[in-house]
Structure 1
Amino acid sequence: MQLDFSDMPDIAIEFLNYMLTVRNISKKTVSEYYYDLRTFFRYIKVTKYNADENDFRDLTVNDITLDDIKKIDLTDLYSFMAFTSRELNNTAVTRARKVACLRSFYKYLHTKVKLIDYNPAAELDSPKLVKRLPKYLNLDESIKLLQSVNGKKNVARDYAILVLFMNCGLRLSELVGINVNSIRGDTLTVIGKGNKERTVYLNKACQDAIAAYMAERSKLKVIKDPKALFLSERKVRISPKTVQYLVKKYINASGLDPDKYSPHKLRHTAATLMYKHGNVDIRALQSILGHESIATTEIYTHIDNEKLRDAVKSNPLSSISPKTNNKDVSTSS
């Protein structure tokens, strides 16, 4: 992902680069902060300089100055949040991210580079988020999904992708970022949120699926991105969009609603099955999923109520083996 902040004021560029290089925040999050700040600066232009709101999405912001930013108070920030809800139809989750962005931005200006004497965002409250129970596939639906993988092309690859999602609970970004050398025996190293590295343990189903895929991958004559584990038709690293497409394709083929399930729902499925069937400690599950806060993991305790390798091995899908042909998925006894 290439990031371009050239249309932003210098102070914002410096902040975004600080988040990227010093704080080591992921490119995805920094990209979202870029859009959030750009929206905020456009709001300043509309409310403070009478720019035409009808041109909101086309307003340039690189002429916003530090003095403009200094004039913003807490009331302005709350007005901005109301604007994002009322005029931009931002969800509570999106507004909460904007609050996090503004807090980080003003904290940087106040405590890091000391360019402002007052931090109006310090008291800015975030929208209350309603915790919804995660959607997930039950065991029968999960097996049916794996059995739906067939066709003439990319069967081993697609099967391995689904197996890793549903056994290891990987995020989409983590899966597409896997390199061949990320795998060592029964361990997989992934880069999670905030560029944090963690070890994921591979059960037999994962190891078998990866081995079957690697056997097919080794037959490719030209690989443009040899480091990448999962390759696209063009023999480069598979994109998140392609993975989303293939997940929906097999969800649909298995008779489930493709609008209800996504790669992230397969992550929920892995967590739910491990917790429900594997007698997994919540702290172990937190480590497996790479959650920074235990509160995020606790959402899975609605289902039922050791270590990381044992927890992953306990996943009931661990016994599902790769296909030997395009008709059946065999199950070891």
Structure 2
Amino acid sequence: MLIDDYLAYLSDVRRCSASTVRLRSSYLTRLAAEVDLVAATALQLQTWIAAHPQWTPRTVNAVVATLRSFYRWAVEAGVVSRDPSTWLRPVKLVDVDDARIASPEQIAAGLASGRLEVRVVTMLGAEGGLRVHEIAKLHERDRDGQWLSVLGKGGRLRRVRVSPELGAALDELRAKHPDAGWYFPSRGGHVSTQTVRNWTRRELGTNPHSLRHRAGTTVFKRTGNNLRVTQVFLGHASVATTAIYVHVEEDDLIEASAASRLAA
């Protein structure tokens, strides 16, 4: 019941995405099976996290974020008198930037795919900057001619311009599933985010989030390094988050070296 109340808060008050709610539900349910959530101590939380060495740094950080969010809510709701998650710290991520942006070869592979769905996913991610869950749940009602209305994290709505090539591909996809409503239909609704990940990993050799990183980096460079435009394009609440998506590549370093050259 306690977890259900928290999840309802995330969904109804914070307006978090369904994927975020499911993820946090999974972590809290696993924790509750081993630790009393109300009586938990900081040491118990740290010990529980340490008992899962198979978790990647990103997973650990997602767990820490979940516990911090849950206990902040629990304190405000009067469920607990203290916050045992205060001492939890995220893991520092090292040397991950280069691996998180799709290469031109990977994008070319996606656009050359014999599967229409993969081609559309590639364009939505690398051109439109959509997150994987935004791609999976894209519906025909989200499109108004040359624009897509995309509901992202935190209930933030943004508009994404549809290029002629993407528009034609979306039209073709709708013609393939005329009665579904969803652009990527599955039994009883739309495909899962895992299905989209499987498509890109199998045919592009990368994850769909790397396509979004490509979109953010490209928009930043082609708008004259306008971080604010890039922020709105990606639907971020913070410019600091957007900065993570702006990758420094070899040609940028060459330009930097030329700019700083002492010789005339």
What residue in structure 2 maps to residue 126 of structure 1?
A: 89
Does the CA contact (< 8 Å) of 2:197 and 2:208 recur in 1? Answer: yes
Shift of 1:174: 0.3
User: Scaled by the length of structure 1, what TM-score is found?
Assistant: 0.64
Structure 1 runs, 4 residues or longer, greater than 4 Å off: 215-218
What residue in structure 2 maps to residue 325 of structure 1?
A: none
Deviation per CA, 1:96-115: give whole Å up to 9, x if none.
Answer: 2232222222222322x224
Q: Measured at CA, do residues 190 and 84 of structure 1 come closer, stay the same or move farther in structure 2, by a change above 3 Å?
A: same
Whether 2:99 is the aligned partner of 1:108: answer no
What residue in structure 2 maps to residue 55 of structure 1?
A: none
Match of 2:33 among 23, 42, 64: 42
Shift of 1:140: 5.1
**1: CA distance between counterparts of 2:32 and 2:163?**
49
Does the CA contact (< 8 Å) of 1:163 and 1:209 recur in 2? Answer: no
Does the CA contact (< 8 Å) of 2:17 and 2:154 recur in 1? Answer: yes
**1: CA distance between counterparts of 2:242 and 2:195?**
28
Correspondences of 1:17-96 after superposition (within 5 Å)? 17-44=8-35, 64=36, 69-70=38-39, 72=40, 76-96=41-61
**1: CA distance between counterparts of 2:84 and 2:188?**
50
**2: CA distance between counterparts of 1:16 and 1:141?**
37
Does the CA contact (< 8 Å) of 1:103 and 1:124 recur in 2? Answer: no
Whether 2:125 is the aligned partner of 1:165: answer yes
Q: Which amino acid aligns with 2:183?
A: L
Shift of 1:292: 2.4
**Which ranges of structure 2 fall in alignment gaps of 5 or more residues?**
254-264
**1: CA distance between counterparts of 2:19 and 2:87?**
23
Shift of 1:178: 1.1
SS at 1:160's partner residue? helix
SS at 1:168's partner residue? coil
What residue in structure 2 maps to residue 313 of structure 1?
A: none
Q: Which amino acid aligns with 2:200?
A: V
Shift of 1:36: 2.2
**Which ranges of structure 1 fall in alignment gaps of 5 or more residues?**
1-9, 45-63, 252-257, 306-333
Shift of 1:80: 2.4
SS at 1:200's partner residue? strand
Does the CA contact (< 8 Å) of 2:170 and 2:183 recur in 1? Answer: no
Shift of 1:35: 2.4
Does the CA contact (< 8 Å) of 2:143 and 2:149 recur in 1? Answer: yes
Does the CA contact (< 8 Å) of 1:36 and 1:101 recur in 2? Answer: yes
What residue in structure 2 maps to residue 16 of structure 1?
A: 7
Q: Which amino acid aligns with 1:302?
A: V
Q: Which amino acid aligns with 1:228?
A: W
**1: CA distance between counterparts of 2:13 and 2:189?**
30
**2: CA distance between counterparts of 1:262 and 1:145?**
11
SS at 2:211's partner residue? helix
Q: Measured at CA, do residues 78 and 203 of structure 1 come closer, stay the same or move farther in structure 2, by a change above 3 Å?
A: farther
Q: Which amino acid aligns with 1:177?
A: K
Percent identity (aligned): 24
Q: Which amino acid aligns with 1:81?
A: Q
What residue in structure 1 maps to residue 181 of structure 2?
A: 227
Deviation per CA, 1:231-276: give whole Å up to 9, x if none.
Answer: 35x695333333333323432xxxxxx2xx1211222222233334
Answer with 175-184 or 267-276: which moved more.
267-276
Q: Which amino acid aligns with 1:290?
A: G
Q: Which amino acid aligns with 1:135?
A: R
Does the CA contact (< 8 Å) of 1:85 and 1:95 recur in 2? Answer: no
User: Scaled by the length of structure 2, what TM-score is found?
Assistant: 0.79
Shift of 1:199: 1.1
How many residues matched?
248
**1: CA distance between counterparts of 2:140 and 2:197?**
21
